[in-house]
Structure 1
């Protein structure tokens, strides 16, 4: 049976009972003031979700400490440990005398450049001496050749010829090209080469003797991408780093950048041709990308892509490339040399977004480094741009 409260004359509790209720209410208010509201109830009295846990940790003594910071980037640590001139030198790939090791050995000992390029028709350096050159480097040395096949190859006298890209696509399956590149990459690696400036991703069906011509696998972007991917995979399997070229596209240009300025079709047209093989660039694995000395209407403002911040931004942004970007030859191709002298061309390329500056003619390395050091000091080559480039260079070498 439910107990009834005694009712007063006016419908409320009798006086004694009323006093007890008032005391109880006052007691509840006092408890709330001393201890705070019920943590399980919101302002409406309904339960509310518990607040998220703090981002710090409680120590044994009861004091709260911040969570541990994420571990530092190992490449950033390695770069920070380099002397400023050595850091800049890692961004250079300099041509050396291909006939023997003396020139390369002197360059590496003197300036600790990040890479050397072996061109020309004399393969003497590739038959001995590279081990000594590489041993002289404080950090792993990139040793590059351009061994595409056809009219651009370096070891045919030593290891046999490669067909041109156009012939590969016409006569071989992608799997056969992959096997061919794997064998060639192994031959290069055995001679001390670490990087091959191939394959060509440019599309086009121009005559064989033109700037690209038969260096292109196909005018069809899908076919060009399929064969370039097979070539890159074969190089990877042999332990040789491929270099995709010539971004943003040299296959349909107005001329030859070796002998003067060239212009490509407008950017929107390139997206349907030469740029298409760069989409989904991660499928090519760990690679570098070479930019060509190509003026692109709608992108570079009349400048060669190698000196254009907009071209590097396109590669990083729209195409999502995170590896090292390198220049085509800054010292022997008139599309650049007619505009600017070598030390300033290197500075402009690095400031624009290049991570590796290449010149095949060799020499002038000390002069270039002096200019770059002065440019960092003046702010015309930002120090954080140098650090970013050096991190990418060390990463592709497997240093960090």
Structure 2
């Protein structure tokens, strides 16, 4: 049969052209799918955009990403670092002073610029005038502390009337009433120049009233204790007084009195069901300090008082997420510590373990303690990073930066 097409070779070219168009269309579809896997496939040739000048440029021609700005420095860390070492160490000390008048407190603050003073005892001379002069002598804002819990531990009863014990408050008052009582007491304390109250007690205890904790505890029930302690702390906050929760990890069920000698609590796992429960969700108390007690906790402190135990501070910081200052119980007048180690070394061990504030109510020896701490930093026995961390927390807690 004769070929009717004008040129048989032209028909071959048309066939090849059709094949080429099919491959071109398939290639375009594949390119589109690679560019956008979710795009619909229509069977029609898909236009693939040519690469832009920017995308085809070499990597050396591409603009570099702007570096993220460095975070702003912590002002409290900056303020702490600006202090000479001895002054930085002094901010970590809370020293007991003679409550009868201003002379002793002025001497301690002027000589060593300590971070805080503690007013204990029954005399109220210093609380009836003179604290303004003591505060004015401080280059960095000074903490003035008392332990005014109510019941058998209170400082201004003769001036401002008595407070019931924690146990009596929980029995006779609602949490809201306790908040109001604590606020009124804190207003009186603040008016006298006090800025910190070593209260409330958050130990859980059902022991008799006159035992070491006894009626200083709101309740043996952790939930009741937490509710009343929170109310007390809130009342203090409302008047501008810093609360101190005590005595971590729990003194309410110990086998003795740490004022008189070594004491042991139930094992750590038992404390998790009692004394440690009020420390859960610690942010509910607002900005507070936590005081550690001189308590040996089986399964945690390895035979040492919690105040000198790195494991106890790690528990407070880690499991309970506390970021504020941690404070020791009295290092100078309680035999659970003084039977083990002399005051300057007790302060050094406490700070090294994780304390931010070292307290001794007996006063005196401030220069000796600071000499020992400076030597300990020089030898590496007290890491400088630990000093800086503690100073940052202390300055931040009193809004000094």
The bucket for the TM-score relative to the shorter chain is 0.7 to 0.9
Q: Which residue of 2 aligns with 1:33?
A: none
CA distance in 2, matches of 1:246, 1:163: 20
CA distance in 2, matches of 1:284, 1:191: 24
Q: Does 1:169 align with 2:170?
A: yes
Q: Which residue of 2 aligns with 1:359?
A: 360
Q: Which residue of 2 aligns with 1:192?
A: 193
Q: Which residue of 1 aligns with 2:246?
A: 245
Which residues of 2 match residues 111-126 of structure 1 at below 5 A? 111-126=112-127
Q: Which residue of 1 aligns with 2:28?
A: none
CA distance in 2, matches of 1:398, 1:149: 28
Q: Which residue of 1 aligns with 2:68?
A: 67
Q: Which residue of 2 aligns with 1:254?
A: 255
Q: Which residue of 1 aligns with 2:35?
A: 46
CA distance in 2, matches of 1:147, 1:263: 26
Q: Which residue of 1 aligns with 2:330?
A: 329
Larger Rg: 2
Which residues of 2 match residues 57-136 of structure 1 at below 5 A? 65-136=66-137
TM-score normalised over the length of structure 2: 0.86
Gaps of 5+ in 1: 26-40, 50-61
Q: Which residue of 1 aligns with 2:288?
A: 287
1:127-179 Cα offsets, whole Å, 9 max, x none, are 01000000000111000000000000000000000010010011111111100
Q: Which residue of 1 aligns with 2:50?
A: none
Q: Does 1:228 align with 2:217?
A: no
Q: Does 1:342 align with 2:331?
A: no
For residue 109 of structure 1, give the secondary structure of its aligned residue in structure 2: helix
Aligned in 2, Cα 1:203/1:7: closer, same or farther, shift over 3 Å? same
CA distance in 1, matches of 2:303, 2:64: 62
CA distance in 2, matches of 1:307, 1:232: 26
Cα offset, 1:380, TM superposition: 1.0
CA distance in 2, matches of 1:81, 1:296: 38
CA distance in 2, matches of 1:117, 1:64: 55
Cα offset, 1:46, TM superposition: 2.8
For residue 66 of structure 1, give the secondary structure of its aligned residue in structure 2: coil
Gaps of 5+ in 2: 1-8, 25-30, 39-62
User: Could you tell which deviates more after superposition, 115-124 or 63-72?
Assistant: 63-72
Which residues of 2 match residues 362-381 of structure 1 at below 5 A? 362-381=363-382
CA distance in 2, matches of 1:122, 1:365: 22
Cα offset, 1:66, TM superposition: 2.3
Task: Tell me which stretches of 4 or more aligned residues in structure 1 moved more than 6 Å.
Answer: none
1:358-398 Cα offsets, whole Å, 9 max, x none, are 00000110010011111111111111111111111011101
CA distance in 2, matches of 1:74, 1:258: 39
Cα offset, 1:111, TM superposition: 0.4
CA distance in 2, matches of 1:9, 1:254: 105
Aligned residues: 362
Cα offset, 1:68, TM superposition: 1.9
CA distance in 1, matches of 2:66, 2:323: 36
For residue 331 of structure 1, give the secondary structure of its aligned residue in structure 2: coil
Q: Which residue of 1 aligns with 2:391?
A: 390
For residue 247 of structure 2, give the secondary structure of its aligned residue in structure 1: strand
Aligned in 2, Cα 1:317/1:48: closer, same or farther, shift over 3 Å? farther
